[in-house]
Amino acid sequence: MSYDLVIKNGLLITASESFIADVAISGERIAAIGTDLSGGREIDARGLYVLPGAIDGHVHLTDPTYPPYSIPTADSFGSGTVAAAFGGVTTVIDFAQPAPGQSLIEGLDRRQEDADGHAVVDYALHLTLRDRDPARLAEVPAVFQRGVPSFKFFMAYEGYRLDDVAMFRAMEAVAAHDGLAIVHAENFDIITELRRRLRAERKFGPRWHVAACPSVAEGEAVHRALALAHLAGARVLIYHQSCIEGLREIRLAKARGQAAFGEVCVQYLVLTDEVYERDDLTAQALAISPPLRGKEHQAALWQGLADGTLDIVSTDHNPRHRQDQPLHHPPGTSSIETRLALMHTFGVKAGRLSLNRWVEVCCSRPARVFGLTGKGRLAPNYDADIVLFDPTVEVALTTGTLHSSIGFCTYEGMRTIGFPVMTISRGEAIVENGNFVGKPGRGRFVERGF
Ligand SMILES: [Zn+2]
């Protein structure tokens, strides 16, 4: 039998095993894994790793409202997903964030209009619930029917944050449909108070960011979010875990049998709070929330990722352009293209993660946690989302070599060992030989469910 496309002799790496084989694709799906398979097009992957396409379950593209400032994200669904494709990412999950008073379905419609015809890899949406009006909860079943089974709740940021009661009620509504509650967990009242005191002492800028957002205030909020989800009976994912205190809470929740998951973003694993001492525009751009923390926290995050306390690695990709009036760089990091390579370099090559765990946290486990039932595995009938990764090529990370539409690189000057060299999305090679060769706007909205 002849297939449309066969990737030959690569080292297939899945969440559980590594072996040399051919992958055959018919149409948009994987048709067979085996040896001596042949097809209309054959790609020699000898010496390369063959992985399921990476999934980034936390990105912000084409978003003029992203908190804490209403300054648009630099990357659109177009530019951001091209950068993603170069980085071996075949699915991203962004957010519909209906304004208070707006119907959830209308918010979802508007957001799909932002993405459709622009995204070049497949995309899905989480629904950010910002409105405590009970009328919104009545719309939750309709959101599920649209293939959006995950709801994001902010415990921080004016205009976004929900109080405990509103979040608890929303978690119950999510639980009633067996959905996923996702939480940005920080104690915002305490952060606001600490920041007010620092300002009164004329302590401004990135140098004071960690003092305003201490890890204890994050750990307290993680505890509360997990406790409320436990009471509501909702499965829950804690976003961008940055600290020892939060990890401890996730570990306890898992130990009591709760369906609790942890995400870490690559910047917390690769950068530390030392960058804030520069107090310059770069430091301002890295003044994200929760903040980058010290080495002891970073070591604990790597340990938590290796031992399963943390389930997935995402990016929270949300870089924004420098503002010239007044001179200021709004916070936001860019990792949508560099995550797989950075995790290979600082995880696998540094001896912190096995090859299989690397694939699990970047590619396979996100599909399970987010309900992407047709993606994340190298197996027949799954979408043919596949990355060829050269584990030996060295790449210097700098603005000029990356594809995001921003004028700075979060990891400027770092070198990766290994980088994706070909990306296949639903059976179609979209990045090869250093070029994007897919059709503009070819990405599709993916309905999810558990
Ligand atoms: Zn985010």
Tell me what the mean pLDDT of segment 411-435 comes to.
97
Does one domain contain both 20 and 160?
no
Query: Which CATH number goes with the domain that contains 285?
Result: 3.20.20.140
Does one domain contain both 244 and 350?
yes
Distance of CA 175 from the midpoint of ligand 1 (Å): 22
Instruction: Report the C-alpha gap between 94 and 96 in whole angstroms.
Output: 7
Distance of CA 62 from the midpoint of ligand 1 (Å): 13
Does one domain contain both 33 and 62?
no
Residue 408 has what pLDDT?
83
Does one domain contain both 10 and 67?
no
Residue 325 has what pLDDT?
85
Distance of CA 152 from the midpoint of ligand 1 (Å): 10
Distance of CA 286 from the midpoint of ligand 1 (Å): 14
Residue 449 has what pLDDT?
97
2, two tokens: 């002849």
Distances (CA, A) of 401 to 144, 321, 412, 419: 40, 18, 11, 12
Residue 63 has what pLDDT?
87
User: Residue 15 is part of which domain span?
Assistant: 2-51+382-392+411-436
Distance of CA 361 from the midpoint of ligand 1 (Å): 18
Distance of CA 47 from the midpoint of ligand 1 (Å): 36
Distance of CA 222 from the midpoint of ligand 1 (Å): 16
Taking a 5 Å cut-off on Cβ, the residues next to ion ligand 1 are 316
Distance of CA 128 from the midpoint of ligand 1 (Å): 10
Distance of CA 58 from the midpoint of ligand 1 (Å): 6
Distance of CA 69 from the midpoint of ligand 1 (Å): 13
Give the single-character DSSP code of 358: H
Does one domain contain both 189 and 312?
yes
Q: What is the pLDDT of residues 315-332, one digit of tens each?
A: 999 999 988 888 999 999
Tell me what the mean pLDDT of segment 107-118 comes to.
97
Q: Is residue 280 part of a domain?
A: yes
Q: What is the pLDDT of residues 200-247, one digit of tens each?
A: 999 999 999 999 999 999 999 999 999 999 999 999 999 999 999 999
Distance of CA 170 from the midpoint of ligand 1 (Å): 19
Please answer whether residues 246 and 217 qualify as being in contact, where contact means their C-beta atoms are separated by less than 8 angstroms.
no
Q: Is residue 446 part of a domain?
A: no
Residue 405 has what pLDDT?
87
Distance of CA 60 from the midpoint of ligand 1 (Å): 7
Distance of CA 250 from the midpoint of ligand 1 (Å): 19
Residue 263's pLDDT band (cuts 50, 70, 90): very high
Does one domain contain both 360 and 239?
yes
Instruction: Report the C-alpha gap between 320 and 309 in whole angstroms.
Output: 31
Q: Is residue 95 part of a domain?
A: yes
Query: For the chain, first and last CA: distance in Å?
Result: 34
Distance of CA 267 from the midpoint of ligand 1 (Å): 13
Distance of CA 352 from the midpoint of ligand 1 (Å): 25
Does one domain contain both 418 and 275?
no
Distance of CA 11 from the midpoint of ligand 1 (Å): 33
Smallest CA-to-CA distance from 261 within 239, 280, 242, 277 is with 239
Distance of CA 154 from the midpoint of ligand 1 (Å): 10
Instruction: Report the C-alpha gap between 379 and 358 in whole angstroms.
Output: 18
Q: How many structural domains are present in the chain?
A: 2
Instruction: Report the C-alpha gap between 8 and 24 in whole angstroms.
Output: 8
Tell me what the mean pLDDT of segment 14-39 comes to.
98
Average pLDDT, the chain: 96
Which SS3 state, helix, strand or coil, does residue 296 take?
helix
Mean pLDDT is lowest, of 50-64, 132-146, 316-330, for: 316-330
Distance of CA 122 from the midpoint of ligand 1 (Å): 19
Q: Is residue 449 part of a domain?
A: no
Does one domain contain both 173 and 96?
yes
Distance of CA 314 from the midpoint of ligand 1 (Å): 10
pTM to 2 decimal places: 0.97
Does one domain contain both 205 and 238?
yes
Distance of CA 59 from the midpoint of ligand 1 (Å): 6
Q: Is residue 405 part of a domain?
A: no
Please answer whether residues 292 and 267 qualify as being in contact, where contact means their C-beta atoms are separated by less than 8 angstroms.
yes
58, two tokens: 């936390």
Tell me what the mean pLDDT of segment 124-150 comes to.
96
Q: Is residue 341 part of a domain?
A: yes
Distance of CA 265 from the midpoint of ligand 1 (Å): 10
Distance of CA 205 from the midpoint of ligand 1 (Å): 21
User: Is the predicted pLDDT of residue 5 greater than 90, yes or no?
Assistant: yes
Distances (CA, A) of 341 to 87, 91, 240, 260, 358: 8, 17, 19, 27, 10
Q: What percent of the chain has pLDDT over 90?
A: 92
Residue 324 has what pLDDT?
87
Residue 444 has what pLDDT?
98
Mean pLDDT is lowest, of 27-31, 223-227, 294-298, 327-331, for: 327-331
Q: What percent of the chain has pLDDT over 70?
A: 100
Does one domain contain both 328 and 204?
yes
Query: Which CATH number goes with the domain that contains 37?
Result: 2.30.40.10
User: Is the predicted pLDDT of residue 1 greater than 90, yes or no?
Assistant: no
User: Is the predicted pLDDT of residue 67 greater than 90, yes or no?
Assistant: no
Q: Is residue 377 part of a domain?
A: no
Distance of CA 316 from the midpoint of ligand 1 (Å): 4
* The last residue of a domain, from among 314, 339, 370: 370
Does one domain contain both 313 and 419?
no
Q: Is residue 19 part of a domain?
A: yes
Distance of CA 157 from the midpoint of ligand 1 (Å): 12
Does one domain contain both 284 and 421?
no
Please answer whether residues 362 and 337 qualify as being in contact, where contact means their C-beta atoms are separated by less than 8 angstroms.
no
